[in-house]
Amino acid sequence: STQANFAAYFTMTPTTMAFRENSAMAVPAPLWTHGPSPGAFYPMSHSTSAPSEPRQHTTQPIVTGTSVLAVKFDGGVIMAADTLGSYGSLARFRDVSRLVKVGDRTLVGAGGDIADYHAVKDLLDGLECENYEADDGHDLTPKAVHTYLTRVMYNRRTKMNPLWNTLLVAGIQDGTPFLGLTDKLGVAFAEDAIATGYGAYIALPLLRDALERKEGPLTKEEALTEMEKCMKVLFYRDARSLNRYEVATITADGIEIQEPRPVETDWSIANMVRGYE
């Protein structure tokens, strides 16, 4: 038998010999590669390598702007914000404008993260371009911009990636002053006087008091006086504010954003303050 197999091996053709050798070395592939063995668990391996792209979510504001104030008067709205961009507790950027025009009848003011504010500005620029390209005879109205920003903020909130801002929207619609707010959660409302940030605690009561004492709409001059008082109080009390602020006036004639002005302060009684050492 052994001699017969040995003789048969030498009588095979080269093609038959190659086929026999390849068949002997071939191993059938498993039916389920990388799967668990019978009765075993699948090894769940998690990669510990760092992601290739940096994290894009705003989980903590870096450069921020503080309060934005606004109040209605008879015929328009006045809005004010200082020009400081704070890097933590460092008064780093002292010429940051946080008031922006949208179309001819709307003004937006922003508190919170400055980078996210610029992202909002880019969205508003795109909104203006779309409205211009439509060329349908309809302008952007303050209520439309307010609704748009509310949807944007709520959409980003639902993605767990909010735009870290509180936005004020002011303008004239149908001959009537409009003033509204939307925040990073998409919460929105309209009011006669609104303040964001620290101003919601120490400036908004002053504005509301002025409206209640007048028992009616303020005049433009009265609104400016109250705004100057509030900005002075904020500079005294808010460590993230600056004694330099912008004021914008929105009326039926248009929007005027004035050059930054200084806060007139008096520190003569500072040496008599006790209890904060």
Please give the positions annotated as active site: 58
SS (H, E, C) the chain: CHHHHHHHHHHCCHHHHHHHHHHHHCCCCCCCCCCCCCCCCCCCCCCCCCCCCCCCCCCCCCEEECCEEEEEECCEEEEEEECCEEECCEEEECCCCCEEEECCCEEEEEEEEHHHHHHHHHHHHHHHHHHHHHCCCCCCCHHHHHHHHHHHHHHHHHCCCCCCEEEEEEEEECCEEEEEEECCCCCEEECCEEECCCHHHHCHHHHHHHHHHHCCCECHHHHHHHHHHHHHHHHHHCCCCCCEEEEEEEECCEEEECCCEECCCCCCCHHHCCCCC
Calpha distance 160→176 (Å, rounded): 36
Name the packing angle between helices 204-214 and 220-237 (round to 10°): 150
| Cβ(79)–Cβ(70) below 8 Å | yes
Other CB atoms within 10 A of residue 98 CB: 27
Calpha distance 127→181 (Å, rounded): 19
